[in-house]
Structure 1
Amino acid sequence: MSGRAQKQHPGRLTKRAEFLAVQRGQKLRGRLFLLELLRRGDDGPPRFGITVTKKAGNAVERNRMRRRLREAIRVHVADDMAPGTDYVIVARRDVLNAPFGALREELSRRIRGKKPARTG
């Protein structure tokens, strides 16, 4: 094995109580989603959960939003997540039509904690 520290894959939030606990943490609002995060105070792997309300669309659309966000996390954003932190992503309807690259960049920027550049 090499001397590099290996990144831990993010786990999943599965229980309602875990989602509710993250609501007490920091909130970062964006055009595509709301990101809630809570530092647990341990060095365990980061965990994430995705919420899509019925207001965002029908079941097919909500599932597509979840799949797009999960893929962005799996492929691109997992390395940006801090150990010992829980993340909840509350999707907005714009997630459906946003280019995947824009979705990935917005998610990565929010998780790293950098504000987006102002345009216009």
Structure 2
Amino acid sequence: MPHTVETLRKRPEFLACARARRQGTKGMLVQARARGDDDPLIRVGFTCSKKVGNAVARNRAKRRLREVARLLLPENGKPGWDYVLIGSRGNTAERDFADLQQDFLYALRKLHG
């Protein structure tokens, strides 16, 4: 059953994820934490530092991360968890989209394993 996905917007929410579990893949870094509240929402945030490239490269990387999350999180994410997807230099924007999706599924398996 697909779950509702909401976007993280506030800095403290991102920082809480930064202190939690993380799993790196070739295409991205995924941070995840169980919120511990009774809210069944899955929340997700996206970030790309200037190391990823200029504004065009960062926006492309973030668009691709958003699409990966849109396709895969409702089915594969856990309710009550927050996720932050972080773009990596050169890989997120250039990597084959199917490989990017496999990277994300691998990271979720490791984080929830």
| TM superposition score normalised by structure 1 | 0.84
1:81 corresponds to: 77
1:22 corresponds to: 17
What percent identity do the matched residue pairs reach? 37
Instruction: Report runs of 4+ in structure 1 exceeding 4 Å deviation.
Output: none
> Aligned equivalents of 2:8 and 2:29: distance in 1?
16
Gaps of 5+ in 1: 1-5, 115-120
Question: What's the offset of the Cα at 1:75?
Answer: 1.9
> Aligned equivalents of 1:100 and 1:34: distance in 2?
16
> Aligned equivalents of 1:78 and 1:7: distance in 2?
5
Decide whether the 8 Å contact of 1:81 with 1:112 is kept in 2: no
Which of 87, 94, 97 is the matching residue for 1:91? Answer: 87
Question: What's the offset of the Cα at 1:89?
Answer: 1.0
- For the pair shown, the structure with the greater C-alpha radius of gyration is 1
1:41 corresponds to: 36
Pairing 1:65–2:61 present: yes
> Aligned equivalents of 1:8 and 1:98: distance in 2?
27
**RMSD, matched Cα:** 1.4
**Larger RCO: 1 or 2 (CA < 8 Å, sep 6+):** 2
Question: What's the offset of the Cα at 1:88?
Answer: 0.7
Question: What's the offset of the Cα at 1:78?
Answer: 2.7
Gaps of 5+ in 2: none
| Number of aligned residues | 109
AA matched with 1:63: N
Deviation digits for residues 82-119 of structure 1 (CA, Å, limit 9, x no counterpart): 000000111102011110000011112211327xxxxx
